[in-house]
C-alpha cells in the first residue's frame, strides 16, 4: 500500500492506495483510511481520509454534502467514476455523493449506515462535558468483539472534537422522507452490509434500503465496525457483489 495526495479545491486529500481498482472507501465518524486496511490488502482500491481527518488537510465542513463534494471530486480525478463504499458517516457521504454527482458513482456499498442517522442527545452532550467517558461508551457500543474497545476508546478520546463534529452532522442527516416519497430510488447496483450485532445502526436500517433497490447482507459475529471485526466475512460479501457487477465497472 502507498499514500498519495491530491489537491481538491485547495485542500490536500490523503488517500491510502491498495491498487488501481476504481473502488473508494469512506470511513465513519472520527475515523480515517486505516480502518480499511483489510479490504485494501485483499480487494484493492483507494481509502480516503476525509478533510480534517487522518493525513488530509483542514477546511470548514458544514454538512454531509461538503464531505460528499470532496469524495466525488477525488473519484472523478482518479478514475472518472467508481464504486463508493461508505461506513456509518461515510455511508451518508456515499449516498450524498450518489445524489449530487451521479456521473462519479457506478455502484454503492452502504456499510452500517442508514437513510437517517440520529445520535443520542446524551452522546452529543457527553462529548462536550465528559469526553473521556463518552468516548469509552461509543467504543463499547461500536464493537461486538470487546478486544477492540480499549484501543478505539483511546482513539475516540484523542479525536473527541472531530467525533463531536461528525456526529452532529450525522444527527442532521435525514433522507427518510425523500426515500418514502419516491424521490430517491437506487438506479445503480447497491449493497447494504451490516453486522448482525450492530447497536449503533441496527440491521433494520439496512433492511430499509431493500425496498428501494438495494441488496442486503448481514455479517455474523460483528457489530458496527464490521469491516474490522469480521473482515473475512465482510470481504466475501464485498467480493461477491463486485464480481456480480463486474461489467458495470468496465
- pLDDT number for residue 30: 95
Q: For 2-117+174-249, CATH number?
A: 3.40.50.1820
Indicate the pLDDT class of residue 176, thresholds 50, 70 and 90: very high
For 79-158, list the strands marked E by DSSP.
82-87, 105-111
Give tens-digit pLDDT for 181-209.
999 999 999 999 999 999 999 999 999 99
Give tens-digit pLDDT for 85-98.
999 999 999 999 99
Residues 12-41 as b/e (b if ≥16 CB within 10 A, e otherwise) read ebbbbbbeebbbbbbbbbbbbbebbbebbe
Give tens-digit pLDDT for 12-23.
999 999 999 999
- Asked if residue 70 lies in contact with residue 11, where contact means CB atoms within 8 angstroms, the answer is yes
| Domain residue spans of the chain | 2-117+174-249
**105-111 and 190-195 beta bridge pairing:** parallel
Amino acid at each position: 500500500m502507498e499514500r498519495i495526495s491530491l489537491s481538491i479545491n485547495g485542500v490536500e486529500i490523503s488517500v491510502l492506495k491498495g491498487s488501481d481498482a476504481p473502488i473508494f472507501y469512506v470511513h465513519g465518524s472520527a475515523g480515517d483510511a486505516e480502518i480499511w486496511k483489510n479490504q485494501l490488502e485483499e480487494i484493492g482500491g483507494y481509502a480516503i481520509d476525509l478533510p480534517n481527518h487522518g493525513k488530509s488537510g483542514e477546511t470548514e465542513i458544514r454538512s454531509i454534502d461538503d464531505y460528499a463534494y470532496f469524495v466525488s471530486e477525488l473519484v472523478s480525478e482518479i478514475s472518472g467514476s467508481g464504486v463508493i463504499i461508505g461506513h456509518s458517516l461515510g455511508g451518508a457521504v456515499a449516498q450524498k455523493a450518489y445524489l449530487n454527482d451521479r456521473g462519479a458513482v457506478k455502484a454503492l456499498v452502504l456499510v452500517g449506515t442508514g437513510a437517517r442517522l440520529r445520535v443520542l442527545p446524551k452522546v452529543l452532550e457527553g462529548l462536550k462535558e465528559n469526553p473521556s467517558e463518552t468516548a469509552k461508551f461509543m467504543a463499547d457500543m461500536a464493537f461486538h468483539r470487546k478486544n477492540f474497545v480499549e484501543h478505539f476508546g483511546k482513539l475516540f478520546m484523542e479525536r473527541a472534537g472531530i467525533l463531536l463534529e461528525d456526529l452532529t452532522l450525522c444527527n442532521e442527516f435525514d433522507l427518510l422522507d425523500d426515500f418514502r416519497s419516491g424521490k430517491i430510488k437506487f438506479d445503480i447496483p447497491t449493497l447494504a452490509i451490516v453486522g448482525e450485532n450492530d447497536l449503533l445502526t441496527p440491521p433494520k436500517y439496512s433492511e430499509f434500503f431493500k425496498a428501494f433497490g438495494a441488496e442486503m447482507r448481514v455479517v455474523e459475529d460483528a457489530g458496527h465496525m464490521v469491516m474490522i471485526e469480521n473482515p473475512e466475512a465482510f470481504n466475501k460479501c464485498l467480493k461477491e457483489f463486485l464480481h456480480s457487477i463486474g461489467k458495470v465497472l468496465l
